Amino acid sequence: MQNNKRSVFIISILFISIFFLARCINKTQAFNDPRGKNYAGAESCRQCHQAIYDSALLSAHFTATTAASENNIRGDFTKGKNSFVYDEHTMIVMEKRDSGLYQVKYVDGKETEVHRFDITFGSRNAQTWLYWEADKTYELPVSYYSSVHSWATSPGFSSKKPDFRRFIGRDCFECHSSHIVSKLNASTAGIDEVLVRNSLVYGIDCERCHGAAANHVNFHLENPEEKTAKYIISNKTLTQQQQLDACALCHSGNDKVKIESRFRFKPGDAMADFFMDRPKQQSNADFDVHGNQFRLLSESKCFLGSKTMTCGSCHDPHKNAGNDLALYSQKCMGCHNDASHNTCSMAASLGNSIKENCIDCHMPKKPSNAISFELAGSSTKSSYLLRTHRIAIYAAASMK
């Protein structure tokens, strides 16, 4: 009996110790986050929001940047499928070596330059990669495109000659990561931007969209009975415009003058405090399908006629936009139906099939003018196709 009591006592002490240790670990996580002590790190969200966290972990938001590895690079490293030929003398070969994955330049069969895959940008439609050199990142000359299932030139690069010296600064990280610190140094060449390597927080994480969470995490660990979310920003507490601005931060193109770094934006802030219009704005025909989804959506009659429509009306930011066109079509049918006398003019001729696919007619895929690439042996620009978010009637698409 005495031994049983002692065992129960020891187990109880261990349980209590583990409980408080877990809380301490959770609290100290905030201090390890490069953004400061108010941040808890996305991993801390999983203990209470496991389903949402696990879903977000696989999303294009969360994987907008990742540490490059065999697990997240989609291109083929198999011999015969791992090279990009520029001419009879020059090629880039994607190679696996003991120290990592590399793009290797060969001239007449001799290795002349080699750089490692360090950072992966993108996960679904295309991927490009950066390598670190001291405190700077440069884009590798060969990328991967899902549309052609092949290696091709990185956006804007030439298929005639490889270039390893395109510097990528903080501006690109602002829409593809949650944090990185940059500094401006004076040099003989002028002002030089450098990056602080250990300040990088990969991907668009929970706190990028919901705000710093350390106080939220600590409060709810100490008060598990409290079910109302404290010290965190929930989308449902934001106005329509605030919700739109949170998405437009990275989905409204680069045709405005930036006043403040996107990293300073917190959910609930106004886009107008971070960007201002240029004197001569583009017409909607010039809004690019890559990165300008909000500006295209804002030209749609559906959007202009609604007081509640946001990006979240159709998209769950914790999941990838799916390929189930019927699912998205049902969202359209929520407003465009017989009861509202606002149905599609082609419904009578198409019958029930109209319920399966509104999208290809009213949001067709369009080529991006911002991103194009070249395949090996061709100087012809290949189009990077993305679905337009300007919901409208497109004659060519309707004819199909």
CA distance 14 to 191: 57
DSSP code for 231: S
CA distance 358 to 73: 33
Question: What's residue 14's pLDDT?
Answer: 53
Q: At what angle do helices 2-32 and 214-222 cross, to 10 degrees?
A: 160
Question: What's residue 25's pLDDT?
Answer: 47
Q: Decide: 366 and 386 in contact? Cβ < 8 Å.
A: yes
Can you tell me which residue has the tokens 């991967």?
144
Neighbours of 170 (CB within 10 A): 20
CA distance 99 to 78: 18
Q: Which amino acid is at 330?
A: Q
CA distance 364 to 202: 31
What string of DSSP letters covers 27-92?
HHHHHHSTT-TT---GGGGTTT-HHHHHHHHTSTTTTSEEE--TTT--S--STTTSEEE-SSSEEE
Question: What's residue 278's pLDDT?
Answer: 72
pLDDT tens digits in sequence order for the chain, 400 residues long: 555 555 545 555 555 455 445 544 444 444 589 999 999 999 999 999 999 999 999 999 999 999 999 999 999 999 999 999 999 999 999 999 999 999 999 999 999 999 999 999 999 889 999 999 999 999 999 999 998 999 999 999 999 999 999 999 999 999 999 999 999 987 766 789 999 999 999 999 999 999 999 999 999 999 999 999 999 999 999 999 999 999 999 999 877 788 999 999 999 999 999 998 776 655 555 788 988 999 999 999 999 999 999 999 999 999 987 778 888 888 888 888 777 777 777 776 777 777 788 899 999 999 998 888 999 988 888 888 899 999 998 988 777 6
The pTM for the full model equals 0.86
Question: What's residue 285's pLDDT?
Answer: 55
CA distance 394 to 385: 16
Q: Decide: 103 and 115 in contact? Cβ < 8 Å.
A: yes
The contacts of residue 272 (CB under 8 Å, 6+ apart) are none
Three-state DSSP at 388 gives coil
Question: What's residue 343's pLDDT?
Answer: 77
